[in-house]
Amino acid sequence: MTRADVEFRSGPDRCRGWLYLPDTGRPAPIMVMAHGLGAVKEMRLDAFAERFCDAGYACLVFDYRHFGASDGEPRQLLSIRRQLDDWAAAIAYARTIPGVDQRRVVLWGTSFGGGHVMVAAARDGDIAAVISQCPFTSGTASVLAMDPMTTVKVTARAVADLGAVVLRRKPVMVALAGEPGDAALMTAPDVVPGYLPLVPEGHPFTNEVAARVVPTIARHHPGRALANLTCPVLICVCDQDSVAPPRQTVRYARRGPTTRLIRYPEGHFDIYVGDAFEEVVADQVDFLDRVVPLE
């Protein structure tokens, strides 16, 4: 396989990422891939992309605007609307890449991105397949899973940041990963030991986002889009998920007319590494082989 640095325009900015091309000698279906809440592509997306490329699929892996290698000011601004626009821009770019099967685009997302792919596929209407792992599907379920004191602290940060928007001041930030009771978006006991080690040693990473996103997360329910998808969909759910509550995801998945659900006895961060990673990526390759076979 080969991996090249690429970029494409999304709104006024540029998203940057990696393009993996398999050495198959024929146009391959292309998978568009992005990460979850505040995460960047270096946090194990390369491991997934390498497996998919080994299986014969091209992969476009990108960072959202305001994060990682992509443009966007202020930094660490998490906007659901802009991230969905980034998905649309990435899909459009994937359909222009020479040497791939531009008719067959697969969306792959994890965690917060696992919800994005559901909405992005529904909006596009011409996606070959969707893979969503440990997905965020319900803002209500995620808020209810938070410790009440954490909810109070995070909400206070959000109110302060919305005030900063009005006053045109720099953003008020909130941590992404924190210990139980911290003012952070993720505070379950397995978050700090599970999320932060995904960052490669020495790679720059900022463990915070602008707090103004909190109200939009609470109102966001991407799992509802599953009922409208007609392409094949694979949902990989972690039954011990402390970040994206699995119960509501399972309910949404059962409403999807083309959705296949696989459940794993794992936590939210377990499937990025070790034996759990090997199991889930093997299941995803098997799904691809069946619904988007190589020609």
**Rounded CA separation 212/254 (Å):** 32
Alpha carbon distance 97, 117 (integer Å)? 20
Which CATH number characterizes residue 104's domain?
3.40.50.1820
Residue 295, pLDDT score: 82
- Is residue 118 domain-resident? yes
Q: Is residue 184 part of a domain?
A: no
When divided into structural domains, the chain yields a total of 1
- CA angle 144/148/151 to nearest 5° reads 80
Tokens 């699995």, residue located: 246
Residue 132 forms part of a structural domain: yes
Is residue 181 in some structural domain?
no
| 273 assigned to some structural domain | yes
Report yes or no on 155 lying in a domain: no
Q: What percent of the chain has pLDDT over 90?
A: 96
pLDDT tens for 110-122 read: 999 999 999 999 9
Residue 25: its pLDDT value, please? 83
pLDDT at 244: 93
Are residues 121 and 229 in contact, defined by beta-carbon separation less than 8 angstroms?
Answer: yes
Q: Is residue 157 part of a domain?
A: no
The verdict on residue 199 lying in a domain is no
Task: State which residues form the domain around 7.
Answer: 2-139+221-291
CA distances from 110 to 35, 38, 94, 235 (A): 6, 12, 19, 10
- Whole-model pTM above 0.75? yes
Cα(175)–Cα(76) distance, integer angstroms: 11
pLDDT tens-place string over residues 162-188: 999 999 999 999 999 999 999 999 999
- pLDDT per position as a tens digit, 26-43: 899 999 999 999 999 999
Pairing state between β 28-34 and 184-186: unpaired
Residues of the chain with pLDDT under 70: none
pLDDT of residue 24: 84
